[in-house]
Structure 1
Amino acid sequence: MSRPRIALLSNPKSTGNIAQLPRIRAFCAEHPDIFHYEVEAADQIGAALKTIARINPTVLAINGGDGTVQAALTEIHNGGYFGDHAPPVAVLPSGKTNLIALDLGAKGDPVVALEKLLEIAKSDVSPHLVARELISLSGGEAGIKPVIGMFMGGAGLADVMLYCRERVYPLGLPNGISHVITAIAVLLQQLFGLKASFLPPEPAPLSVQVRKGGKITARFAFLFVTTLDKLLLSSEFGSHGKGPLKFVAVEQKPFSLIRAFFASLVGRLGRTKLDGVHVEEADEIAIEGDASQVILDGETFRAGVGKPLLLRPAQPLSFVRIAA
């Protein structure tokens, strides 16, 4: 019997999987080319990958939200289960957040995406492969070992993401409506300066050190570090350094937010200097603050005074781009 072409790693507890997993299980049962492994918690992913490595699949597919993908990438990077020959990774559009899946061209129905992926895996996958730089996050209050991801949100952006997750999603509304409510709350809080218990908190002061650059200390309404092409819009990086980590931060000033918004719309963000807007490209970034939180692909980490979170490039991986 030939080896399965696709090893599918599923997280049944991912919110987006609650409704879709029965269909995914049925599809896998009908296609022996897919080896389906389900985990109940992140600490089971290492054992799952150890088993999957014995199968040596053509493609490793991940069915879960960005947090599931982050945990799997971390295990691939730190566990060494595949040696120097990790299979290319595909990400199905599942979970509440799907930034990584979107960047790789997977959107809509995860079963349809899995069907397309199976067709890709039956022939030469190389035309569908793209290399992606990864972010390694370490340090912080807990002195964490390297965690691997693609998108980190911090400062006011992290507060907003947590607000949406903890205050809006529990309302049980569709994702689109939840995001509109969150956007309105952000507008009231950041542009109009309104303060209320039902709005996101005011961002705490944060210090960011970009290698070979000066330390920036401010209250940031918006801060992220990424390697994802889809989030870069038409921004032009590299004017203040070179490196795989793309850093964007906007200070909590109404006019800075407005300038950054319109500059991104017309593809000028990063091309001209704007007051309170920082666009950098680096190979090392340190973030420090008093119990400041950041979110890397759905998981929360905390910096501390004298205990910065360090962001560095990790070994790139190959990913499968699934056609829209």
Structure 2
Amino acid sequence: MASVALLSNPRSTGNRALLPRVREYCAAHPDIFHYEVEDVAQIGEAIRTIAMVSPRIVVINGGDGTVQAALTELYSGGHFDGTPPPVAVLPNGKTNLIALDLGAEGDPLKALERVIELVEAGRLEDHVIQRQLISLDSGGEARPVLGMFLGGAYLADVMLYCRNRIYPLGLPNGVSHFLAAMLGLFAMVLGLGGGRLPPKPEAMTVSLIRQGEFKGKFSLLIVTTLEKLLLSIRTSEAHGTNGHMKLLATDTSVGALFRMLGGAWRGTLGQRPLDGVHFEQGDEIRIEGRRSNVILDGEIFESIGGKPIVLTSTQPVPFLRLAA
């Protein structure tokens, strides 16, 4: 039986140059069971096969979308007897939000070497942390999808705009993200949208099971179980522990956006109310509106038949934190 199971998605952005080095490294370490998929649709079979070798840890080498699909199979597929092993995420793909939250930065191969080092030293348990997952139900018959970071409202529109209009230009990821953000801000301030710019924000309703609901047009809608939100924003623990999912929504006014960014920069976000800024925690969140599409860990989900998108938090599951 292999101690480490490595799941690689060759189509992830970083793997185009990295994968030959990963294959060479795995060939020199027979204790690694390396499984490559060509499409996310193959991840179910990959996790079923990985379960057969009973690894001590599952390492995911791909972008956030690959991680989301793998987590869904690990915890909803029923492939393991009992609790699946901890998950480590290599810093790969375009955004790497999950990997960064788990302390994996820089060269993905160095992160893999770190995992092997911890396994060989018998120190895995010292680095295992617990995280809740977001369970997303879009109203269809398919089982809920599991992930850790969701973007919605105008944020989702700008993310899709970046993916469809900016990425094809071949610019570096950081430049692409900055350019999309600046164009989105420009369009929002001037009330423009469509054509060569992101579409105008649409009204939506966000409901929390205990905290009530709020309606409006939002420039930013984030739901996450990560410690870090977008742009390395951290939320204050002073807001309370009303649930495992953290929700941040900001009205489309420029003032609300800058008040949110100011609170994030000072580390006081969530300590006191800010006009136009909503920060809540909960175990069930509903999102509905005429265009209520959301992006969960890089994958697009839309409501079906006018039903709301329902988010619930799972029980804690184990991950490997690579930072010292």
TM range (shorter): over 0.9
Moved more, 225-234 or 27-36: 225-234
Q: Which amino acid aligns with 1:266?
A: R
- In the other structure, the counterpart of 1:176 is 174
Query: 1:215-226 maps to which residues of 2 (within 5 A)?
Result: 215-226=213-224
CA contact (8 A) 1:238 1:281 kept: no
Q: Which amino acid aligns with 1:153?
A: G
CA contact (8 A) 2:187 2:193 kept: yes
Q: Deviations over 1:72-91 (max 9, x none)?
A: 00001111111222111000
Shift of 1:193: 3.5
Shift of 1:276: 1.2
1:126 aligns with 2:93: no
Unaligned runs of 5+ in 2: none
Q: Secondary structure at the match of 2:188?
A: helix
Distance 1:52 1:189 in 2: 47
CA contact (8 A) 2:228 2:234 kept: no
CA contact (8 A) 1:290 1:303 kept: no
- In the other structure, the counterpart of 1:247 is 247
- In the other structure, the counterpart of 1:289 is 289
| Alignment RMSD (CA, Å) | 1.7
CA contact (8 A) 1:158 1:294 kept: yes
CA contact (8 A) 2:228 2:235 kept: no
Distance 2:252 2:91 in 1: 33
Q: Secondary structure at the match of 2:316?
A: strand
Q: Deviations over 1:225-244 (max 9, x none)?
A: 00001227442257476000
Q: Deviations over 1:167-196 (max 9, x none)?
A: 111111111211221122122122343446
Distance 2:237 2:154 in 1: 22
Q: Deviations over 1:193-217 (max 9, x none)?
A: 3446222111111111111222211
- In the other structure, the counterpart of 1:149 is 147
Shift of 1:117: 0.9
1:311 aligns with 2:307: no
Q: Deviations over 1:5-54 (max 9, x none)?
A: 11000111112211111111111111111110001112211111111111
- In the other structure, the counterpart of 1:31 is 29
CA contact (8 A) 1:233 1:264 kept: yes
- In the other structure, the counterpart of 1:117 is 115
CA contact (8 A) 1:207 1:289 kept: yes
Q: Secondary structure at the match of 2:315?
A: strand
Distance 1:52 1:242 in 2: 36
Unaligned runs of 5+ in 1: none
- In the other structure, the counterpart of 2:138 is 139
Query: 1:189-208 maps to which residues of 2 (within 5 A)?
Result: 189-195=187-193, 197-208=195-206
Moved more, 200-209 or 189-198: 189-198
Distance 2:202 2:142 in 1: 22
Distance 1:57 1:144 in 2: 28
Distance 1:27 1:131, change over 3 A: same
Q: Which amino acid aligns with 1:16?
A: G
Query: 1:46-195 maps to which residues of 2 (within 5 A)?
Result: 46-122=44-120, 123-140=122-139, 142-195=140-193
Distance 2:64 2:4 in 1: 20
CA contact (8 A) 1:290 1:304 kept: no
Q: Deviations over 1:121-168 (max 9, x none)?
A: 11131111111111100034x454210000010001111111111111
CA contact (8 A) 1:292 1:304 kept: no
Distance 1:318 1:167, change over 3 A: same
Give me the TM-score of the superposition, normalised by structure 1: 0.94
Q: Figure out how many residues of one structure are paired with residues of the other and give that number.
A: 321
